[in-house]
Structure 1
Amino acid sequence: MASIHDVARVAGVSASTVSNVLNGRHERMQAETKARVLRAIEELGYTPNALAQQFKSGRNRTIGLIVPSVANPFWGALAHRVERAATALGYKVLFCNAERDPQLETRYAETLLASGVRGVIFSSSPLSFDHLSHLTRRGLVVAAFDRRGHGAEEVVACSVSIDNELGGKLAGQHLVGLGHRRIGFISGPIKTSSRVGRLNGLRAAMAKAGLELDPDLVWQGAGIGGYGDTEGPELGRIGIRELLSRDDPPTAVVTINDMYAIGGYAGARDLGASIPGDISVVGFDDIDLAAVVHPALTTVRQPLAAMAETAVQALIRVLEGTNEGAEPHVSATPQLIVRASTAPPRDRTHPNNGAR
Structure 2
Amino acid sequence: MNGRPAPRQSDVARLAGVSQSAVSRVISGEVDRIPPETRQRVLDAVKELGYVPNAAARNLRNKRNRLLGVHTFEAVFPHARENFYFDFLLGIEERAEEVGYDLVLFTSTGTSDGRRRIYRDGTNRLNLADGSVLLGVATDREELARLWHDGYLFVHIGRREVPGAEIPCIVPDYQSAAARIVESLADRGHRHLAYLREGIEQESYADRRTGYRAAVERLGLQDRSPGYRGEPWLTEEWLDELVRGPETAVVAESVRLAEDLRRGLAERGLEIPQDLSIAVLEGSGDEPGHRWDCLVIPRRQIGRIAIDALVARVENPDEPPTSQLVACDLVAGETVAAPRR
Instruction: Decide which of 201, 205, 219 is 1:191's aligned counterpart.
Output: 201
Deviation at 1:310, TM superposition (A): 0.3
Stretches of structure 2 that go unaligned for 5 or more consecutive residues are 1-55
Native 8 Å contact 1:276 1:340 kept in 2: yes
Deviation at 1:271, TM superposition (A): 4.6
Amino acid in the other structure paired with 1:57: L
Stretches of structure 1 that go unaligned for 5 or more consecutive residues are 1-52, 223-237, 348-356
Instruction: Decide which of 86, 91, 113 is 2:102's aligned counterpart.
Output: 91
What are the within-5 Å matches in structure 2 for residues 90-109 of structure 1? 90-94=101-105, 108-109=117-118
Instruction: Decide which of 299, 315, 318 is 1:321's aligned counterpart.
Output: 315
Native 8 Å contact 1:120 1:141 kept in 2: no
Match of 2:306, SS state, is helix
Whole-Å separation in 1 of the counterparts to 2:114 and 2:166 = 18
Match of 1:295, SS state, is coil
Deviation at 1:139, TM superposition (A): 4.3
Instruction: Decide which of 124, 141, 158 is 2:153's aligned counterpart.
Output: 141
Residue 342 of structure 1 corresponds to: 336
How does the TM-score come out when normalised to structure 2? 0.63
Match of 1:345, SS state, is coil
Deviation at 1:314, TM superposition (A): 1.0
Q: Are 1:122 and 2:116 matched, yes or no? A: no
Whole-Å separation in 1 of the counterparts to 2:253 and 2:267 = 21
Would the alpha carbon gap of residues 170 and 83 (structure 1) be closer, same or farther in structure 2, given more than 3 Å must change? same
Amino acid in the other structure paired with 1:121: L
Would the alpha carbon gap of residues 240 and 343 (structure 1) be closer, same or farther in structure 2, given more than 3 Å must change? farther
Instruction: Decide which of 312, 316, 338 is 2:307's aligned counterpart.
Output: 312
Whole-Å separation in 2 of the counterparts to 1:340 and 1:174 = 14
Whole-Å separation in 2 of the counterparts to 1:285 and 1:325 = 34
How does the TM-score come out when normalised to structure 1? 0.61
Deviation at 1:170, TM superposition (A): 0.6
Q: Are 1:65 and 2:71 matched, yes or no? A: yes
Residue 277 of structure 1 corresponds to: 274
Amino acid in the other structure paired with 1:90: Y
Whole-Å separation in 1 of the counterparts to 2:305 and 2:212 = 27
Deviation at 1:274, TM superposition (A): 1.6
Instruction: Decide which of 309, 319, 326 is 1:332's aligned counterpart.
Output: 326
Residue 40 of structure 2 corresponds to: none
| Structure number with larger C-alpha Rg | 1
Amino acid in the other structure paired with 2:298: P
Deviations 1:227-276 (A, max 9, x none): xxxxxxxxxxx738664233655432222244554565445445543211
Pairs aligned (count): 269
Deviation at 1:298, TM superposition (A): 1.1
Deviations 1:263-312 (A, max 9, x none): 6544544554321122212123435x24x542322112332222110012
Deviation at 1:63, TM superposition (A): 1.2
Native 8 Å contact 1:129 1:152 kept in 2: no
Residue 249 of structure 2 corresponds to: 252
Residue 22 of structure 1 corresponds to: none
Native 8 Å contact 2:133 2:157 kept in 1: no
Higher relative contact order (CA 8 A, sep 6+): 2
Residue 300 of structure 1 corresponds to: 295
Question: How many percent identity over aligned positions?
Answer: 19
